[in-house]
Structure 1
């Protein structure tokens, strides 16, 4: 009898459950949406993710292949581990409280990430313009020494870099994007 039948998943069971990308996507999708979903709709989402196309562009064969795999292999495995409940009559799947045992192995729920690239590009554009205006002694900037302008530009980049480090280190705790988040990008 496995530990999951006693209500507690062993580390090996957790690793086995999360070793397959389809199961990880199913868990991530259900965690993100927080409500039951029909197996056919879930298979469609998984197929769209795997094929990197919108769900509307999937072929019947792509959907069917994923549906059969979920129905015969992945959902039963997740159900036996107590991670999901599957009602064969309605075809609905939903997460159980047991998914909490996987939390430390899964990325956090979706959180809006600051647009770091845009911040760096903006800092470069504004900093470059500021430095250029001081070098050519433009009105209002003629009194600013070139060295001070350089320090201000470097300081702006340092401020953005420190902000990104603090955000990544302390706000997100270095979390990875969920599979559902990656699909959206």
Structure 2
């Protein structure tokens, strides 16, 4: 069994993709769809699954309702051009013998470009501001010896506030890393 292909271009082996490389990858709609599907699945998938989803999005149908000719057009394009380009850029590992595709950590570079206007965003700034305001009120209550708050020591209050900020930051990080819309941005209506 052949191992996953390594990126061929030494200049692409850097940990970060340049802005030009990112835009080059994203210039093709089929490549954007493939990146979106791979980022959403975030595991090893079959080439056929990528083909089915890209073709379904392109033809505005479901993978099960695709016509053979539609699937074939997308398959050829992905096989000859787009998947090899993603593998060469180090965005995916592609085993040509088994047809398995595995996204690498570099695929996260595209999150800011592909999901900027479509990802359901939580009002994180409000959560941080609310936690800050609550912390200020807690410390002011301790300082002026307000009864319900005075049962806490300064140490417990500071530890509680630091823990709350840490949990909020961890949740925020997890959310932004793991929230990928079901469909590519091109399929979302701009009127929503």
Shorter-chain TM-score range: 0.5 to 0.7
Alignment partners' CA distance in 1, 2:109 and 2:63? 31
Residue 11 in 1 paired to residue 15 in 2?
no
Residue from 105, 109, 113 that aligns with 1:101: 109
Q: Report the count of equivalent residues.
A: 126
Residue 29 in 1 paired to residue 37 in 2?
yes
CA contact (8 A) 2:46 2:99 kept: yes
TM-superposition CA deviations, 1:43-81 (whole Å, max 9, x none): 111111111112222111110110110010000000000
Residue 40 in 1 paired to residue 48 in 2?
yes
Q: What is the TM-score when the length of structure 2 is the normalising length?
A: 0.55
Alignment partners' CA distance in 2, 1:2 and 1:38? 27
1:100-119 correspondence to structure 2 within 5 Å = 100-107=108-115, 111=120
Shift of 1:103: 3.1
Change over 3 Å in CA distance of 1:181–1:21 after alignment to 2 = closer
Residue from 69, 81, 89 that aligns with 1:61: 69
Q: What is the TM-score when the length of structure 1 is the normalising length?
A: 0.57
- Alignment RMSD (CA, Å): 3.3
Alignment partners' CA distance in 2, 1:184 and 1:104? 16
CA contact (8 A) 1:83 1:99 kept: yes
In terms of mean alpha carbon deviation, does 51-60 or 70-79 score higher? 51-60
Q: Which runs of 5+ in 1 are unaligned?
A: 114-171
Shift of 1:94: 1.7
CA contact (8 A) 1:3 1:9 kept: no
Residue 77 in 1 paired to residue 85 in 2?
yes
